[in-house]
């Protein structure tokens, strides 16, 4: 099939590349000329395991192309995906200006019946707004061309997006015509050779499904983090509690790991956007508001533990930070806990030596830009040379089984603050480390 994808950010680039991998002819469109030029040279703007090789392979085989010309894309596609950003507004709502701008461009340039698919994460009712925007442009042209608007939310995990797309747990389709349903079934059929994972529903339910899924996962995280706070105060061990409740098949082990808060492009934005939608319709979402409140406070926990040990004047103290990205296997630092921790400690006079396998450039060029108290190093052990304590914030695989003898040699004192509860307290105490973690007194 001939497919166009408008927007070459995380969702757009992964989606377009995976569709091309299955033999479709895909054109990815972006208004950023420099980004398009780089993509044509094989320069990928994000880190995602396996993506670079797949982009290069499909661009070379001509199943994948990049352009700034939406007219060309409309003339050479049957299905058009909208995959532009929906940044969070000041009031917590999703900003639809880019989605609607693309919709207007589609209406102004389409030349045949078009299946227009919302791939961006958008609030309930967005498909109606997209439909109106496209129709207004067609009316300006006095065109009688027809189109369908479809909701097809993405459920990609950063760090595992290629695997998620190629072998999906489910593909949710919101469509209100048989033709739209059939077109999407045909497009996704190659991804479902073992059994049909396509779930078809009405458009508003599909839009809601994405938000409900992310809100549910965020709720599990905040619930466990709240339990960790209670455990610390009553003298229980949250790690033991997690094992105790996770063994219940009704609960399971996924997303119940205590930590220093969630971040990224999805959970913070989607929970707040869903809460804003609820309030717009006259309902106060008490659980959603609590999920965000708990997460906001949880991001401060590690910094507070450092301050509790060393005091509020951290001048002369240096801390080695392992991990900057909001989760492993990505360079994404949006809403990352590392930002909160590092900014808090450096404002109190501390120096930071930071290491992350992939997110260094993001930190230096944007999220921690201008913070002269942060030094970036090229290895995890270099981050610990001459520091007063180690702070682990992201659970990268290379941090799971470090050489604690080497750590001890490098550091001024054997103190570890662990925001992800990666290690055994008993084992580290035998090695004469002071090990401070989440949810354990």
Residue ranges of alpha helices (H) inside 311-375 are: 337-347, 360-362
Compute CA distances 103 → 19, 131, 152, whole Å.
21, 8, 15
The token duo for 180 is 């739209």
In the chain, % helix, strand, coil (3-state, to 5) comes to 45, 15, 40
Contact 302, 340 (CB under 8 A): no
How wide is the angle at C-alpha 263 spanned by C-alphas 172 and 439, nearest 5°? 115
E strands present in 7-144: 25-29, 64-67, 79-82, 114-118
Catalytic residue among 18, 28, 260, 266: 266
- Distance between CA atoms of 302 and 389, rounded to whole angstroms? 12
In what order do the strands lie in the sheet containing 64-67? 64-67, 25-29, 2-6, 79-82, 114-118, 147-151, 171-174, 198-201
Residue 266: active-site member = yes
Mapping DSSP to helix (H, G, I), strand (E, B) and coil, where does residue 31 land? coil
Q: What is the largest CA-CA distance in the chain?
A: 79
- Distance between CA atoms of 238 and 257, rounded to whole angstroms? 9
- Hunting for tokens 């809601």 — which residue is that? 208
What is the set of active-site residues?
Answer: 266
């Amino acid at each position: 099939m001939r497919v166009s994808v408008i927007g070459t950010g995380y969702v757009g680039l992964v989606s377009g590349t995976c569709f091309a991998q299955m033999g479709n002819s895909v054109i990815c469109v972006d208004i950023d000329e420099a980004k398009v030029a780089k993509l044509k040279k094989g320069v990928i703007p994000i880190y995602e395991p396996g993506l670079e090789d797949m982009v290069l392979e499909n661009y070379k085989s001509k199943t994948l192309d990049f352009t700034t010309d939406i007219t060309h894309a409309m003339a050479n596609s049957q299905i058009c995906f909208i995959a532009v950003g929906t940044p969070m507004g000041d009031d917590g709502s999703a900003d639809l200006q880019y989605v609607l701008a693309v919709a207007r461009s589609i209406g102004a340039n389409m030349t045949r019946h078009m299946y227009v698919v919302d791939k961006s994460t958008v609030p309930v009712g967005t498909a109606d707004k997209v439909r109106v925007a496209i129709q207004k442009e067609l009316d300006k042209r006095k065109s009688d061309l027809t189109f369908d608007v479809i909701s097809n939310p993405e459920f990609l995990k950063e760090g595992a997006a290629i695997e998620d797309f190629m072998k999906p747990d489910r593909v949710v389709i919101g469509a209100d015509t048989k033709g739209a349903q059939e077109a999407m079934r045909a497009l996704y059929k190659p991804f479902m050779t073992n059994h049909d994972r396509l779930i078809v529903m009405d458009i508003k339910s599909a839009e809601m499904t994405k938000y409900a899924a992310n809100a549910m996962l965020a709720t599990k995280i905040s619930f466990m983090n709240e339990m960790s706070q209670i455990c610390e105060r009553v003298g229980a061990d949250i790690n033991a509690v997690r094992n105790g409740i996770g063994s219940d098949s009704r609960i399971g082990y996924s997303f119940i790991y205590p930590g220093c808060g969630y971040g990224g492009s999805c959970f913070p934005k989607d929970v707040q956007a869903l809460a804003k939608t609820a309030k717009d319709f006259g309902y106060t979402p008490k659980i959603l508001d609590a999920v965000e409140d708990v997460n906001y406070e949880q991001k401060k926990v590690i910094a507070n533990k450092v301050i509790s040990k060393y005091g509020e004047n951290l001048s002369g103290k240096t801390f080695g930070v392992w991990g900057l990205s909001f989760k492993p296997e990505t360079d994404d630092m949006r809403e990352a806990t590392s930002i909160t921790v590092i900014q808090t400690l450096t404002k109190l006079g501390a120096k930071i030596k930071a290491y992350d396998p992939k997110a260094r450039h993001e930190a230096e060029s944007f999220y921690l830009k201008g913070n002269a108290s942060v030094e970036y190093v090229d290895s995890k052990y270099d981050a610990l040379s001459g520091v007063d304590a180690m702070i682990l914030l992201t659970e990268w695989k290379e941090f799971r089984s470090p050489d604690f003898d080497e750590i001890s040699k490098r550091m001024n004192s054997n103190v570890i603050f662990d925001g992800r509860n990666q290690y055994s307290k008993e084992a580290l105490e035998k090695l004469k480390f002071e090990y401070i973690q989440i949810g354990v007194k």
